[in-house]
Amino acid sequence: MINNLEEYHIHYRDSVKDPEKYWKDYSSKFLWKKEPSDVLNWNFIDPDIKWFKDGELNITENIFERNKEKADDIAIIWEPNEPNEENITYTYNQLFDEVCSFANVLKKLGVEKGDRVIIYLPMIPEAAISMLACARIGAVHSVVFAGFSASSLSDRINDCQAKLVITSDGNFRGNKIIPVKDVVDEAIESTSSIDYVLTIRRTSSTINMKKDRDIWYHEIVNTVDKSCEAEKMKSEDLLFILYTSGSTGKPKGVVHTCAGYMVYTQFTFENVFQYKDGDTYWCTADVGWITGHSYIVYGPLLRGAKTIMFEGLPTYPNASRFWEIIDKHKVNQFYTAPTAIRALQSFGDKFLEGYNLSSLKVIGSVGEPINEEAWNWYYENIGKKKCPIVDTWWQTETGGIMISPLPNIIKCKPTYATLPLPGIQPILLDNDGIEIKENNVEGNLCIKYPWPSILRTTYGDHKRCKETYFSTFKGYYFTGDGAKRDDEGMYRILGRVDDVINVSGHRIGTAEVEDAINQYKEVVESAVVGFPHEIKGQGIFGFVIVKDKSKDIDYFNKIREMVTKHIGPIAKPDKILVVPGLPKTRSGKIMRRILRKIAANEFDNFGDISTLLNPEVVDQIITAHKN
Ligand code: WT7
């Protein structure tokens, strides 16, 4: 672990001077079935990236068998939706038994190494257990956030040709029960690869169990053994696929592989959170996102840490819930998203009263740029001015945290993710792809050298991986973000420079939302952009051309219903404006920068609009918006 600034500089220097040696040294703390000797092969052109190529391992052996001395320590504390329902805790040994039993259930249902398994679950312990069970037997998990619609779910099942879906009989969310099993049933109707639906009992809701297809977990688990040998995996065998949105087309399956992901998530977890034995760590993310994968499940458990998993919502039963949980479990490291911070801040400080937050040592932020006001509120009211804020910048594709302060080592600076972690070589490029070397500049954030948990491909479509990440700037990994580097060399993330909207820390592709809107029969065409939103960071603004303006239709609600049905509630537009036309270039491309300005209530300085085919439409849209 890096303990002070001098060590950080030494680590950083070594990691750049001889990356292979640096990661080879770190990787020696892991349990390998076969030690790797070939550390790194790569090029960013194809791209082709292989870490620890000739090594063999199983990531779950590195959680359980390797951490033997932790057998009786707590691994997971599960905090349910209802504050008065009892917690469930698992020691490493108990968790190990659960994972092995679950793994044997998967085997019994015919799941084999390399098969894809979809996990569509609420935040119950089985979400983590089933991920690890897949890893134990070499199956590839693909967790789908349980707020996604049936059609999003079937797209993912079809894309990876999954054999099995793991779900539950319901999902407690605040005072609602979400019928996730019904969503699965509907999704499977438009797929053909699923053999079984493994169903976990949680809400005891009445659900349909289809004969020979739907299996109750609590029944089948009684028929299997509690021990399961770890499958021998090659370093570059797939560990998981996680779907994420981009600027075009449907979400793509980001692929992470066994060894590099393992090495990098433990490395970043222990350094960024400065986790010490005995600490209690809590990340509020959902396992449906990469943050949950890397920093609820894999990173903490590889380290042998005590990690909290929370089923509920920050505002249920009221806006004190987070602070109550921190107090109750004496949380030492707390990791959440700016949108949650802003939302809780907006409820007022009275919800903090009576809770003791003095156990906190490090507080973190992830998912979107954190504005200065939220940063200050978090720092003063939650961290009580004594906890460094780790503003961690990274992505689904990066697998782990890339740019972040190390608490009490690298100074924090509001709204800055600050400095790259060892092994990370960021670079700013101008729009022509020329490196901007000086400080106090802004540019396109790229990375020039591989780190162990960089994505390897997009599932089933390597060309798309190349085009999305490795073609804009030849020879570099392009993040899609713009960044500023200040005079001290510190990085501040400015947000996406592509057509991706970041709503409450969730990535939403404009094309996806437009496709959903266009499914509504009254819509001719649509264009979607992000706009500044006080709580969500960015909201979604949809400009639509409709067939017949004279019809009395509630477009706002109709369109939101459509988007909820096709993607999920997280992608619902916040605003809909019916317009007579969309600003297009002669080649038919929508000039989104104009729409972005209008959505942000900026009505001048549109820049060069001489290439517009229909410049008059700009004023018409402005007029429509002002009315
Ligand atoms: C995008 C990645 C990986 C965490 C969850 C989101 C934005 C992420 C920060 C931050 C400013 C951030 C970027 C990035 N982002 N963290 N600390 N400061 N922006 O993962 O869904 O893959 O989204 O989230 O725009 O590209 P994701």
**For the chain (length 627 residues), average pLDDT per consecutive 10?**
97 98 98 98 98 98 97 98 97 98 98 98 98 99 97 98 98 97 98 98 98 98 97 98 90 97 98 98 98 98 98 97 98 98 96 98 97 97 98 98 98 97 98 97 98 98 98 98 97 94 95 95 96 96 95 95 96 97 91 94 88 92 93
Continuous segment of H or E residues that includes residue 20: helix 19-27
Continuous segment of H or E residues that includes residue 283: strand 280-283
What is the distance in A from the centroid of ligand 1 to the CA of 444? 15
What residue's CA is closest to ligand 1, atom 8?
367
What is the distance in A from the centroid of ligand 1 to the CA of 597? 23
Give yes or no: residues 619 and 514 share one domain: yes
What residue's CA is closest to ligand 1, atom 20?
395
Give yes or no: residues 49 and 151 share one domain: yes
Q: Which amino acid is at 220?
A: I
Residue 330 included in any domain:
no
Residue 449 included in any domain:
yes
Give yes or no: residues 443 and 514 share one domain: no
Question: Rounded to whole angstroms, how far apart are CA atoms 253 and 255?
Answer: 6
Give yes or no: residues 476 and 525 share one domain: no
Which residues make Cβ contacts (< 8 Å) with residue 557, sequence separation at least 6?
A: none
Tally of domains in the chain: 2
Q: Which amino acid is at 94?
A: Q
Domain boundaries, position 193: 5-313+392-483
Tens-place pLDDT, residues 235-294: 999 999 999 998 888 899 999 999 999 999 999 999 999 999 999 999 999 999 999 999
Give yes or no: residues 436 and 573 share one domain: no
Of 144, 293, 394, the residue with max ligand 1 atoms within 8 A of its CB, to mutate for a pocket test, comes to 394
How many C-beta neighbours within 10 Å does residue 219 have? 11
Question: Rounded to whole angstroms, how far apart are CA atoms 480 and 500?
Answer: 9
What is the distance in A from the centroid of ligand 1 to the CA of 367? 4
What is the distance in A from the centroid of ligand 1 to the CA of 510? 16
Continuous segment of H or E residues that includes residue 527: strand 523-533
Residue 369 included in any domain:
no
CATH code (residue 145): 3.40.50.12780
Report helix, strand or coil for 190: coil
Cis peptide before 414 (omega within 30 of 0): no
Give yes or no: residues 83 and 164 share one domain: yes
Please identify, among 449, 483, 517, the residue that sits at the C-terminal boundary of a domain: 483
Atom of ligand 1 nearest to the CA of 365: 17
Give yes or no: residues 510 and 457 share one domain: no
What residue's CA is closest to ligand 1, atom 2?
395
Residue 383 included in any domain:
no
Residue 335 included in any domain:
no
Give yes or no: residues 255 and 403 share one domain: yes
**pLDDT score of 406:** 98
Give yes or no: residues 513 and 463 share one domain: no
Q: Which residues line ligand 1 (CB under 6 A)?
A: 244, 289-291, 365-369, 391-396, 417, 479-481, 493, 495-496, 502, 505, 507
CB 365 within 8 A of CB 344: no
Token pair of 552 as six digits: 């009395």
Give yes or no: residues 588 and 449 share one domain: no
Which residues make Cβ contacts (< 8 Å) with residue 399, sequence separation at least 6?
A: 256, 260, 261, 264, 265, 290, 294, 452, 453, 454, 455
Question: Rounded to whole angstroms, how far apart are CA atoms 571 and 528?
Answer: 11
Residue 602 included in any domain:
yes
Please identify, among 419, 454, 483, the residue that sits at the C-terminal boundary of a domain: 483
Residue 259 included in any domain:
yes
Sequence-distant contacts of 66-75: CB under 8 A, at least 24 apart? 66/30, 66/31, 67/92, 67/304, 70/304, 71/96, 73/304, 73/306, 74/306, 75/301, 75/304, 75/305, 75/306, 75/307
Give yes or no: residues 599 and 568 share one domain: yes
Please identify, among 418, 449, 483, the residue that sits at the C-terminal boundary of a domain: 483
CB 116 within 8 A of CB 161: yes
DSSP 130-167: HHHHHHHHT-EEEE--TTS-HHHHHHHHHHHT-SEEEE
Question: Rounded to whole angstroms, how far apart are CA atoms 399 and 403?
Answer: 12
Residue labelled with tokens 């063999």: 56
What residue's CA is closest to ligand 1, atom 18?
369
Question: Rounded to whole angstroms, how far apart are CA atoms 108 and 137?
Answer: 12
Give yes or no: residues 442 and 511 share one domain: no
What residue's CA is closest to ligand 1, atom 19?
368
Of 245, 286, 368, the residue with max ligand 1 atoms within 8 A of its CB, to mutate for a pocket test, comes to 368
CATH code (residue 567): 3.30.300.30
What residue's CA is closest to ligand 1, atom 10?
393
Residue 238 included in any domain:
yes
- 42 burial class (0-12, 13-18, 19+ CB within 10 angstroms)? middle
**pLDDT score of 143:** 98
pTM for the model stands at: 0.96
What is the distance in A from the centroid of ligand 1 to the CA of 390? 14
**pLDDT score of 360:** 98
**What percent of the chain shows pLDDT beyond 70?**
100
